[in-house]
Amino acid sequence: MTLRELAKLLRWDVQSEGSGLDEAVRGGYCGDLLSHALASAKAGDVWITIQHHANVVAVVQVANLAGIVLACGVRAADGVVERAREAGVSVFSSPDSAFDLAGKVHRALSAETR
């Protein structure tokens, strides 16, 4: 499933449309510490977090993540969105909790491989 399809299915609000929207999502990573995301998130993961500091954009670039979905209704500030757009990084926002988002993403990706 591509990031675009996943975002549409789970009705995420689009804050930044990145360059990898039509690439397949490999899996997911949950966590709010940037250093831990750098060390543990894998290429192609969608990153579920409430962390919205501008540095998340760099982490997505460096770790080659699919994109970010901000949980609990958290939204990226305008400056962060601008930076994400410049960097081609996708940023979404959802009212769901990180727990619910992880469950929904996991279910959607699992259903696809069955």
Partner 1 sequence: MRTYVADLHIHTCLSPCADLSMSPRAIVRAAAERGIDLIAVTDHNTARMTDVVAREAARQGIAFLYGLELQTQEEVHLLAYFDASPPAHAFADKIYAQLPDRPNVPEAFGDQVAVDDAEKIVYVEPRLLLNSLRLDFETAVAWITDAGGLAVPAHVDREPYGLITQLGFVPPGLDLPLAEADGDELPAACHDSRLVWSSDSHWPEAVGRRVTHFTMNAPSVAELRLAASGAGGRTLSVERRLSPEAASRRRT
Q: Given the rule CB under 8 A, which residues bind partner 1?
A: 32-36, 38-39, 51, 53, 55, 57-58, 61-62, 87
Give the span between the Cα atoms of 21 and 25, in whole angstroms: 9
Contact 18, 31 (CB under 8 A): no
At 33, phi and psi to the nearest 5?
Answer: -95, 120
Q: In this complex, which beta carbon is closest to partner 1, that of residue 7 or of residue 84?
A: 84
Copy the structure tokens of residue 14.
Answer: 């689009």
Least distance CB 20 / partner 1 (angstroms)? 15
Least distance CB 71 / partner 1 (angstroms)? 15
Least distance CB 38 / partner 1 (angstroms)? 7
Query: Side chain identity at 18, as an amino acid letter?
Result: G
Q: In this complex, which beta carbon is closest to partner 1, that of residue 60 or of residue 101?
A: 60
